[in-house]
Structure 1
């Protein structure tokens, strides 16, 4: 079985929370991003294509180009998608499959977006969030790309054919599941859509599909990445590489509008973090706004004094999500002078984290451990070396930021993250 993996993701937090699964198993793992040269210096290379907000054609073309430039014979391939189907997962997968077939590699996409540890499951081929159909949630109402969260229909928008793997097949034993995968490949399907409610469902899928690594790619989120890593030979290391201790205040940047991130930010403020709310109008105006320089300086002074600085884009009604990339870039410009005083970074929202790190001359993140599901910890590479934690906006709960900062300052050695235990559906 391969020990080298390429992960293509549509945002930074997704790239990191997939790659960290392999780091937990003792493989070296790094994250890079679009426009930054990266090679095979590590066992696992995850690349943020920064395609979440691109139109379908551009998003697909970017993934195909990265695949042609970075994939190597014998390496496993994961196409990371958002577990709630934001962005352009169907177009990106179609372009990735076309590029593989151009290279003479027949490929079956194994689509399994479930991430049970974070409440994402797949039932009857449809994505659910915390037990409810995704289409009925506020997250879907705020941001979605497709008419429904039925995965075969989603793939159909890009002209891809799919066969459904129901939950009873996932639990029928590895031999039956492996046979179903081989049948789908022989029948010429572009993809299979796998149900999953428990981590064990994804574990079964990983065991059955790994022997097809030369003919398959996996499409999903951190859940399938963790299952694949766990199915590889060998076990988790007793300890993980050392990480630098923070030498000052932590910069906590909340660029996500997701309720989970807002609650966590509020809790961190209640426990003593200095809060700075940044109006979107200020970011749109730029440095010419008289509020810009004093705000940037205030954040820098807070960090230099060793205090945590919590920076969040102020919520606004009827926000234009299509302008999120521009706001993230403007926020990064505002924070760049102050960030040189930080001892560590905690960032929610992939666009925000990537933009800020790019401004600081960071070319990648070497991953070390996972604080909790969906919250990896690493060390920046390039012009600046500081501990960094990233989190997708909708992951976690009200205590996630506080627990993460406490672990960051724990003087003990890094330790493998304990995965949640399975529970009944």
Structure 2
């Protein structure tokens, strides 16, 4: 039986929030979009996360997508979390409105992430990356409980005993607190050993990612101007980076070309591990590969989830990173941690045997 359902507005959000449960030994499946939700439910994981891809949608569009999730899960009796961006980007009010109609519960909003120095104080998001305090109630446009959150201890104190009786709205910090409450004493776990050969597709142009790229051996990186990937040599680690081309084209067109060429490389190189950096890039590549369901196995590094494809190229190890996340040496550390075996991923606690979605 699914104990917790996380509805996120993008893929990296679904992965980043649900990985806390995998790290505590729970079985976690992520559906790339609502069309794969029934197949995910059939696998009966402990925790199910779904991406609605609604971050950039209008309120009406986002509400309709969240409504389609509600049609599939009904009045979900377990823990229900609406994962939101910690700076409250996107049509959050419309999404929470639809959830509240379909699953009537009091709303607790706690979008803080204390480990990233992002807090909730006096009803507003403050801290790192927040120029002016963001009024949570004004964004949600509804009566809502907004506790002050300055630490993980604060999270642990404010969570209700009856998690199933509250609509929980927040980011990774809230998900981590829920995971701690469900599994107070997690089993000992080892970082997954990631298998070579590796294909790394870096589609993000976020300044954080650019600093991480600068720490790598630049001569080893294949440049993809406007998303077009040239011929690459077969190596244990192939890194391809999306860059601007000589001619300006729409970002969506570059992303489309990039995801198509990366999929062609997957067919050609047959990598054991695919690393995708940038939420839009990761989602586009996985969709074109025919991946609809991922099983989360843990983290390669803090904030860098490791999954295994349950459909499409079944068994492919997928490592993802949000463009704006990580220390300057994150990619150096990640690419230095690949091995010739993925047995630790296969044998991780709570594994679901890969196979066609049901």
Normalised by the shorter chain, which TM-score bucket?
Answer: 0.7 to 0.9
Relative to 1, partners in 2 of residues 1:115 and 1:409: Cα closer, same or farther, differing over 3 Å? farther
The DSSP-based 3-state class of the residue aligned with 1:193 is coil
Aligned position for 1:261: 209
Structure with the larger helix share: 1
1:374 paired residue among 295, 303, 313: 303
Relative to 1, partners in 2 of residues 1:308 and 1:375: Cα closer, same or farther, differing over 3 Å? same
Matches within 5 A, 1:131-210: 134-135=130-131, 149-156=134-141, 160-161=142-143, 191-206=144-159, 209=160
Aligned position for 2:180: 230
Output the TM-score relative to the length of structure 1.
0.72
Distance 2:236 2:340 in 1: 16
Please say if 1:219 is aligned against 2:169.
Answer: yes
The DSSP-based 3-state class of the residue aligned with 2:150 is coil
Deviations 1:359-411 (A, max 9, x none): 11222211111233321111122121222111222111211122223334386
Deviations 1:1-35 (A, max 9, x none): x9711111011011001111111111100111223
Aligned position for 2:290: 361
Higher Rg of the two aligned structures: 1
Distance 2:265 2:111 in 1: 37
Distance 1:71 1:374 in 2: 31
How far did 1:75 drift? 1.5
1:276 paired residue among 223, 236, 244: 223
Deviations 1:234-283 (A, max 9, x none): 5212236x9674231x222232332111111222344x64231423xxx5
Matches within 5 A, 1:27-106: 27-34=26-33, 35-37=35-37, 38-40=39-41, 41=43, 42-70=45-73, 73-100=76-103, 106=104
The answer for unaligned runs of 5 or more in structure 2 is 349-358
Number of aligned residue pairs: give it: 338
Distance 1:328 1:70 in 2: 32
Output the TM-score relative to the length of structure 2.
0.84
Relative to 1, partners in 2 of residues 1:84 and 1:278: Cα closer, same or farther, differing over 3 Å? farther
Distance 1:391 1:307 in 2: 17
Matches within 5 A, 1:201-350: 201-206=154-159, 209=160, 211-233=161-183, 235-239=185-189, 245-248=194-197, 250-270=198-218, 273-279=220-226, 292=228, 295-296=229-230, 298=231, 301-302=232-233, 304-314=234-244, 325=252, 327-340=254-267, 341=269, 342-350=271-279
CA contact (8 A) 1:33 1:48 kept: yes
The answer for unaligned runs of 5 or more in structure 1 is 101-105, 137-147, 162-190, 284-291, 417-425
The DSSP-based 3-state class of the residue aligned with 2:102 is helix
CA contact (8 A) 1:117 1:373 kept: no
